[in-house]
Amino acid sequence: MNTSGFYGLWLRELLRFFRSKTRIIGTLGIPFFFILVFGFGLSSFVSVEDTTYFQFIVPGMMGMTLLFQSMFGGLSVIEDKQFGFFKEILVAPIPRPLVVLGKALGTATVVTIQATMVMVAAMFLGFSFNFSLPSIVLALFSMFLVSTGFVGFGLIFAAKTNDPQSFQIIVNFLIFPLFLLAGVFFPLDSVPGWMQAVSFLDPLTYGVDLLRAALIGLSFFPTWLSISALLLFDAIALLIASSFFSQAD
């Protein structure tokens, strides 16, 4: 296994993020807006058992950040194709699955940092969470699991297209149903049965629920079930992405 090649791909994603000030600032824009509008605007209209709506929605906004930033992480592959770097990666003595893993885990690390930034920003608005080592570890683990799977999902489409606009259309088409059905805005036990059943097929549902369990002690699913669902999703997404990258030339 070419660990130096894997590490290089992982590190490259981190450096690209930290060198872009606009990307760092932009991370907070949409989630911060939603937290302000929905967290405070709907707090008197939406009832959540054992917590406030503001507390409830912050982990949801972190989940939104994980979904959006992870899926659009595939754009970096398309940029690499346009500038010729992708061909250099393909001819390098690095196994294709390791290329996918390096890109996926590098982007997942960045996205985990971005979601953590959203949580820290929400703390200035009054968000509080279970400040204990197990809770923090579980929250970071859940963010990394969610982002890894959705980065892999994005890489599947990035492997099959060379056009950034086509990629964005496809990703936007997929993102919004995943986002809206994941229990981000409303508790799962308050939605109609058919919507709840569809939500169970959405990997983000388990990620958001696991974040809520870690941060505010509120969950719909058992922790083991959410982790198992996310691990399965990660494995499937990365395997398919690796297969598509292995066919690339």
Mean pLDDT on 51-63: 90
pTM: 0.88
Report DSSP letters for the chain, one per residue: --HHHHHHHHHHHHHHHHT-HHHHHHHHHHHHHHIIIIIIHSTTT---TTS-HHHHHHHHHHHHHHHHHHHGGGHHHHHHHHHTHHHHHHHSSS-HHHHHHHHHHHHHHHHHHHHHHHHHHHHTTT-----SHHHHHHHHHHHHHHHHHHHHHHHHHHTT---HHHHHHHHHHHHHHHHHTTTSSS-GGGS-HHHHHHHTT-HHHHHHHHHHHHHHS--SS-HHHHHHHHHHHHHHHHHHHHHHHHH--
Residue 235 pLDDT: 96
Output the average pLDDT for the chain: 86
The pLDDT of residue 198 is above 80: yes
pLDDT bracket for residue 191 (50, 70, 90): confident
Instruction: Return the domain boundaries, the chain.
Output: 3-247
pLDDT at 1 over 50: no
Residue 157 has pLDDT above 80, yes or no: yes
Determine the average pLDDT of the residues in 126-138: 90
